[in-house]
Amino acid sequence: MSDSIVVENVSKRFTMRYHRTIKQIAIASVRRQQLSDSFLAVDDVSFVVKQGESIGLMGLNGSGKSTLLKLISGVMRPDGGQVLTRGRIAGLIATGAGFHAQLTGRDNVYLNAAILGMSEVETKAKFDQIIEFADVGKFLDTPVGHYSSGMFARLGFAVAAHVNSDIFLVDEALAVGDRPFKKKCMERMREIKEEGRTLFYVSHSPGSVRKMCDRAIVLEKGSLGFDGPVDEGIRYLKYDSDDPNSEDDELGTDI
Amino acid sequence: MTTHVVDPDRVPDGPLTPPGGVGGLLDVFRRRYLLKLLVKKELQARYEGSFLGMLWSYVQPLVRFCMYYFVMGLVLNFSRGVENFAMHIFAGMVFVHFFTETFTSGTRSIVKNKALVRKMALPREMFPVAAMLVSAYHTFPQLLILTAGAVMSGWDPGALETAEPVLAGLLGFAIIAVFGTALALLFSAANVFFRDFQNFVQTVGIFVTWSVPMIYPFSRLTKSPLGGTWVETVYLANPIAEAVLLLQYGFWVPTTTDPAVTLATEMPDHLFTRGLIVLAVSFVVLGISQWVFSRLEGKFAERL
């Protein structure tokens, strides 16, 4: 009964079209060039996540991590198999994606929270916490187009991190922001984890995965390469040779 | 690996479901609060940094109205034998503008909001529906101006025996709202795959102006060699023409000296019955659009 995310034989195929206009297509077909090509970004992946588990999703660039995350968040739909989730999903799949440059910070908080499924009452109750966390000070009523990239990211993180959700997805969101803010983010993620929410964390940084997660899933060219304890997962990826004391490792800078 | 303990209080009630929801338009109306915020955002963004602000949405129709009245009414003399020709034009323009606005901005809506569509899970039908509501928001003041104009030209709502003029206007409004949303939904999805569609839609916009009895009276068609032929049937099957006729029925016919005569010469038979049928058909088109939209939606995130 306590399954939180069920991924069953999920595949996602992307089609690349080389030509977009009728002229290009005509010329290419006369020359007998290939018009399109497709590849499996996610290939027959299955796993079950229990409520309250924290999963570290790892893998090299292009291994399908972000696509899998989008399938779980519902932004994309699988071509094969099915994804099922229980409860409300929030997360950081690119911070501040829902922000509109012309709207003020305040309006954007309300809009972004509504997109994540919060009601007006819920947002009002959380508003002060969000603003305190984002720490944008007097710029709250300035259009976010004028924000520095750090402020922008902080506000985005603040909204997503305070939504009442049952599943929390994080996609390398900590790469932005200064060191104190990264620390604050990690603390907040730990709180979320301790509240018993399901945490699904995509990262290249073995240090932060080791700290945050109790299970690792490794993707390799779209297929499930490893699913099990974190330390073994890191060894599987051969990430453990990194200097464990480096700052990047600790704070999860994803390069 | 630490043993995993599940706190029963934290397990959300409710079943395992596909993320992102599958309710389509129903989801849009279930999340009215988000829809409200999106409409507000759209209104705010449109007049960003503009001194006249919302007034701009009246300048263009006003200029067009003056041009039609001058060229069609005075120079080409289409107004010959038509009383209150200005009211006739304006009643047509209100709905033609509502429709073309819904159609063009609705078609662009998904591509315009691609940042959101690519990253966040929300019912994508939100955007075309919001586009329709923004257009409707601009239409209401125009309807007020229309009513004021009608009153000044001696509007007598009791002059027609069959039905309420206001009811005719509302039926026409509903037709445009439903039919416009249906087309916006369909073309916004198509536009994701080929941006040609937004140009196509603008081309259709030009056509709409001429395919409704606005800058010429309906009797021009019935008295022409095309009257009574299949052309007239097709002409009347056009939901926009039907909506325009309904609005003219409510707000122009009662301002003429003998509404009964105007009704007989300038309006088709069974206008209300036709209106209800057109509305029903518009709902069917909406259903088809939703079906197509749901099938294409899965590819939005990767094609934008």
Would residue B14 count as lying in a domain?
A: no
**Dihedral pair phi/psi, residue A48, rounded to 5°:** -125, 135
Mean pLDDT across B100-112: 94
| H helix or E strand, kind and range, residue B41 | helix B32-46
Would residue B246 count as lying in a domain?
A: yes
pLDDT tens-digit series, residues B254-295 = 888 888 888 888 899 899 999 999 999 999 999 999 999 998
Q: Which residue of A has its CA nearest to B298?
A: A77
Residues A64 and A4: their CA atoms lie apart, in Å, by: 21
What's the pLDDT at A178? 75
B94 or A183, higher pLDDT: B94
- A83: distance to nearest CA of chain B, Å? 6
Determine which of A33-37, A87-91, A226-230, B230-234 has the lowest per-residue pLDDT on average.
Answer: A33-37
Beta bridge partners of A202: A57, A171
A chain contacts of residue B47, beta-carbon cutoff 8 Å: none
pLDDT tens-digit series, residues A99-123 = 888 888 899 899 988 988 888 999 9
How many C-beta atoms lie closer than 10 Å to residue B58's C-beta? 15
B301 in reach of chain A (CB within 8 A):
yes
Residues B270 and B285: their CA atoms lie apart, in Å, by: 22
Tally of structural domains, chain B = 1
Mean pLDDT across B103-127: 90
Mean pLDDT across B217-246: 91
Would residue B226 count as lying in a domain?
A: yes
Q: Give the one of B12, B34, B38 whose C-beta lies nearest to A86's C-beta.
A: B12
B225 in reach of chain A (CB within 8 A):
no
pLDDT tens-digit series, residues B14-56 = 777 887 766 788 888 888 999 999 999 888 877 777 777 777 7
pLDDT tens-digit series, residues B159-205 = 665 558 889 999 999 999 999 999 999 999 999 988 889 899 988 88
ipTM passes above 0.95: no
**Across the interface, do B122 and A115 touch by the CB < 8 Å criterion?**
yes
Would residue B13 count as lying in a domain?
A: no
* A244 pLDDT higher than 60: no
Predicted TM-score (pTM) of this structure = 0.87
- B183: distance to nearest CA of chain A, Å? 24
- A108: distance to nearest CA of chain B, Å? 9
What's the pLDDT at B95? 95
Average pLDDT over chain B, rounded to whole? 86
A chain contacts of residue B4, beta-carbon cutoff 8 Å: 50, 52-53, 214
**Across the interface, do B12 and A195 touch by the CB < 8 Å criterion?**
no
What's the pLDDT at B242? 95
B2 or B231, higher pLDDT: B231
pLDDT tens-digit series, residues B71-82 = 877 888 777 778
Would residue B10 count as lying in a domain?
A: no
B184 or A190, higher pLDDT: B184
Mean pLDDT across B144-148: 88
Would residue B35 count as lying in a domain?
A: yes
* B1 pLDDT higher than 50: no
> How far does Cα B130 stand from its chain's mean position?
12
**Across the interface, do A115 and B34 touch by the CB < 8 Å criterion?**
yes
Would residue B155 count as lying in a domain?
A: yes
Across the A:B interface, residue pairs with CB atoms under 8 Å apart total 117
Model confidence at B6, in pLDDT bands (50, 70, 90)?
A: low
Average pLDDT over chain A, rounded to whole? 82
A chain contacts of residue B130, beta-carbon cutoff 8 Å: none
Would residue B263 count as lying in a domain?
A: yes
Q: Give the one of B1, B38, B121 whose C-beta lies nearest to A75's C-beta.
A: B121
A chain contacts of residue B19, beta-carbon cutoff 8 Å: 72-74, 83-85, 89
What range does the domain containing B207 cover?
A: 20-40+54-74+81-303
- A252: distance to nearest CA of chain B, Å? 21
Q: Which of A8, A23, A42, A115 to mutate to test the interface with B (most CBs of B within 10 A)?
A: A115
Determine which of A68-77, A154-163, B56-65, B243-252 has the lowest per-residue pLDDT on average.
Answer: B56-65
- DSSP of chain A, one letter per residue? --EEEEEEEEEEEEEEES--SHHHHHHHHHTT---EEEEEEEEEEEEEEETT-EEEEE--TTSSHHHHHHHHHTSS--SEEEEEE-S-EEEESSTTTT--TTSBHHHHHHHHHHHTT--HHHHHHHHHHHHHHHT-GGGGGSBGGGS-HHHHHHHHHHHHHHS--SEEEEESGGGSS-HHHHHHHHHHHHHHHHTT-EEEEE-S-HHHHHHH-SEEEEEETTEEEEEE-HHHHHHHTT-TTS-TT-HHHHHT---
What's the pLDDT at B134? 94
* B3 pLDDT higher than 50: no
What's the pLDDT at A250? 46
pLDDT tens-digit series, residues A58-69 = 888 888 888 898
* A247 pLDDT higher than 50: no
- B46: distance to nearest CA of chain A, Å? 10
pLDDT tens-digit series, residues A145-178 = 888 878 888 888 888 888 888 888 888 655 666 7
Residues A16 and A29: their CA atoms lie apart, in Å, by: 16
